[in-house]
Chains A and B, each alone.
Chain A
Amino acid sequence: MHRRVLAGDRLIAAFLVGCVLFNYPLLSLFDRPTEVFEIPLVFAYVFFAWAVVIALMAWAIEGRFR
């Protein structure tokens, strides 16, 4: 596929992944009083999902196209 088109599609995919991860109902699954690595679950989840989306975007833009 054309390099530019592929990168664009990957970014749109990252956008959709972000929309799903950042919102109800997935968000509500992590909104409970437990902790991971001593950090409240919902904090850890939101920051983790955020990092994932940024990493996806970086991959889409900087990644190699093979």
Chain B
Amino acid sequence: MLEAPVLIAVSLIYLGLLFAVAWWGDRSADRGRSLIANPTIYALSMAVYCTTWTFYGSVGRAAVSGIGFLPVYLGPTLVMALGWTVLLKMIRIVKANRITSIADFISSRYGKSHLLGGLVTVIAVVGIIPYIALQLKAVSSTVGLLLSYPDIVMPHRSPTMSVAADISFYIALILAAFTIVFGTRHLDATERHEGMVAAIALESGVKLVAFLVVGVFVTYGLYNGFGDIFEHLATHPELQRLANAIPSGQGYTGWFSLIVLSAMAVLFLPRQFQVAVVENVNETHLKRAAWLFPLYLFLINIFVLPIALGGLLHFAGQGVDADTFVLTLPMSQRQEGLTLLVFIGGLSAGTGMVIVETIALSTMVCNDLVMPVLLRRRRLALEESKDLSGLLLGIRRGAIVVILLLGYLYFRLAGEAYALVAIGLISFSAVAQFAPAMIGGMYWRGGTRGGALAGLTAGFMVWAYTLLLPSFAKSGWLPDGFLTLGLFGIELLRPQQLFGLSGIDEISHCLFWSFLANIGAYVGVSLLRPPMVAEATQATVFVDALKETGPVGAVLWRGRAKVSDLQELVGRFLGPARAEVAFAGFARRHGADHHDKLEADAQLVQFAESLLAGAIGSASARVMVASVAKEEPLSIEEVMHILDEASQLRTYSRELERKSRELTAATLELREANERLQELDRVKDDIMSSVTHELRTPLTSIRAFSELLRDDPKMHLPDRERFLGLIVSETERLTRLINQTLDLAKIESGRADWNACELDLKEVVEQSIAATSQLFREKGAHVELDLPDNLPLILADRDRLIQVMLNLLSNAAKFLTPGSGRIRVGLRMLAEALEVSVTDNGPGIRPQDQELIFEKFRQVGDTMTAKPSGTGLGLPISRRIVEHLGGRLWVESVPGEGATFLFTLPFAPLRERAAEQEALG
């Protein structure tokens, strides 16, 4: 089943499937329905981080250094925790400036410098091509392995094999064709490739599934779970060291260096920059991807150690390369389907990396190496050729083919040499050199072009000397003496013990020296002189990218240009049709019906430049725009002045916004206060009119009785005593009325004092009943109690609560039939509150009166026959109190059968409740 035709057919079908997905993705994007606009796809596309170096290589490294393979995945996890800020800022900058590659990013930041863009491109290409070679090697050697199935024979390459007979040459060609179709179908001003991202996400899914399946197969099929595999180790003392220790050759320093290195690689590897920053559809996807991507890394690493140990045990002494365990373990068990799945997984890992990396590199090579050279030859720049977009596409396609062929060439030359095995980390160290210029450029205004050039050059040279050249020496391409004796035999210059630094691994060694040189030169040279105009402008655009007001770039231009010139220029690189559409869109956004009517102001020039930047890089775009627009140079003082003004303006406008917000809030408060005052005024008037009316009744009686007493001095003693008694009781009623009126006014105006404390409601009820027991005894009433124990405490004002209870109880007493009265007081627990009920067997209250009795001075019943004995304020006050305490007071009654007054009090969480009370004052 695993013969060559089958393998080729399966591979081609799989690549065809990928292409179908990519085509579908592109089509959806053209129709405005993005297929990849979702954080899971975004996270999966980031997993292009996991190449064959992960898929096959992790097991190989685990077989040598135990857990030492892992820090390469811990670093990205940590970076993603910071991705919220760092990656977000990168995405904002890239989108605002139409940056398409990491070279463009650095070049654009330091004044749109061609030299800088070119240098970054060279470093990236030198650092990455061996990495591409590694993918070719992995794919071709797995093919070689499978072709010898069912035997397991390590494929050996003969150096004399002709190119035409070499399968990896064809793999490189197929990949080149594939990448061209994916990456350069058309020229896009934003350089985004939705279809490619969709295909890459699919590949990430496939490689994860393949690895998990083979992991489960080895762990639970060949052995009986993790415990079983690790237990086998006990019988193999030579493997014991793998299981138990941080590898001695690496140490904690090496471990730490790898975390740092991989953290930078996941930001600055061209392919990572491409998928995470350039291809980002929506910056909110960053959020979920920030933990999904680390989760992916976690999952794909779970089975690495079991497979490595399983392979070491299974193939002990058979000379099987640990790098191939993922494939050879299923092969050895004659699991053809699984073997094929693993092969497809490895193919996914390899092709995914090659496609994205090559597209990213070809964009850099085209925009930052080739275009500047072509533009420098003014003949071409000013040529009459109307449309250069075809030329641009041609350059990119050529770059893709050249890059892949260089990868193949390196693979041919290096073969099984050390230089290829160690390349993963060597590549990481190369791109880590971008970190100071990138991070510094995003957060420090002082960095200059000179500083960035010096830092990158120094870092790159130290990297080459301490890591790349030694790897050549270890491969036998350089004399051994270079390593052991140092350059020219000078011992201090031994590349991996530079200046005598020893005791740490080679990666830490390189990282330390290269960063020392890189950061030192970057900061040192930057500090030599103040930034120039272009640098200061771009520094502001980059450093302030996260501020709410947009970049100020457009303001920083002064000069004259013609709209038609600009459009023609853009049309030459993007094609006239696209340029027409873009300019028309710009005109619409700025309220002009046609772009002929536009003024070629700073904004339009900026717009044209950013369109061009997407196609040919920001530095070249700058040069091209300058060629058609007559610019008046701004001096550094002017630029700083404009920037200062802009930032002051920002400060002022922020201040203004704050003030106006405060003003709005104050107005609102004032209005509320005013409404409250008016309400209080109304309440006061209300009360005054009711009160004067209510006061008149007792006053009239008092006056009438007093006059009787005065006019009839001979009145009998019993009559006199009766009248005096009436006068006293009416006076008492008057006092009560005045007290309650004041009380109600206080509660309604919110000025009442509330002393909230935790209360046992039962105790309050009992106390109130004790206080009124005399009243009931006088009426000969029977009091029934139903008060359960152990109820939750409530938070309330004790005196007020007693006031409510006394009101209800005395009310009930008032309406009892003397002699046969019965009163029942109950207490029960509801879901979130306690409920108190006071039931009497009096005449009851008619339904239409049941709400009226809670109104002020309303006393129901026939006032003609029965003289009201209360003030008419007891129930309104009680209701206000209960409502203030967060409860409800109401009455239930059937006329003739008595009435039940009920109120609830919540037992909300104590602390919240206390805070609320405090706030209410």
A: residues with CB less than 8 A from B are: 7-8, 11-12, 14-15, 18-19, 22-24, 27-28, 31-33, 35, 37-43, 46-47, 50-51, 53-54, 57-58, 61-62
Contacts and interface: CB of A to CB of B under 8 A. Distances in A.
Contact of A23 (B80, B230, B256, B294): B256
Given A7-B84, A57-B81, A62 B259 contact: no
Contact of B67 (A37, A38, A43): A43
Nearest to A28: B252
A18 B227 contact: no
Contacts of B230: 35, 38-40, 43
Contact of B84 (A8, A22, A37): A8
Contacts of A35: 230
A57 B259 contact: no
Given A40-B230, A50-B74, 16 more contacts: A11-B290, A18-B78, A19-B78, A22-B74, A23-B256, A24-B252, A24-B255, A27-B255, A28-B252, A31-B246, A38-B226, A38-B227, A43-B243, A50-B294, A53-B77, A54-B294
B298 interface: yes
Interface string B228-247: 10110000000010011110
B246 A22 contact: no
A61 B244 contact: no
Contacts of B302: 47
Given A11-B290, A31-B245, A50-B298, A18 B84 contact: no
Interface in B825-839: none
Interface residues of B, number: 34
Contacts of B197: none
B295 interface: yes
Contact of B77 (A18, A28, A62): A18
The main secondary structure of chain B at its interface with chain A is helix
B71 interface: yes
Contacts of B252: 23-24, 27-28
Interface in B63-81: 67, 70-71, 74, 77-78, 80-81
B558 interface: no
B255 A23 contact: yes
A24 B70 CA distance: 15
B291 interface: yes
A7 B593 CA distance: 44
Nearest to A53: B77
Contacts of B74: 18, 22, 46, 50
Nearest to B226: A39
B290 A22 contact: no
A28 B244 CA distance: 11
Given A11-B82, A27-B246, A40-B243, A58 B291 contact: yes
Nearest to B287: A61
Contacts of A57: 80-81, 290-291, 294
B259 A22 contact: yes
Q: Top 8 A-B pairs ranked by shortest CB distance?
A: A38-B227, A15-B81, A24-B252, A57-B291, A58-B291, A40-B243, A33-B244, A14-B81
A60 B183 CA distance: 36
A20 B77 CA distance: 13
A61 B255 contact: no
A65 B243 CA distance: 42
B77 A50 contact: yes
Contacts of B81: 11-12, 14-15, 18, 53, 57
B809 interface: no
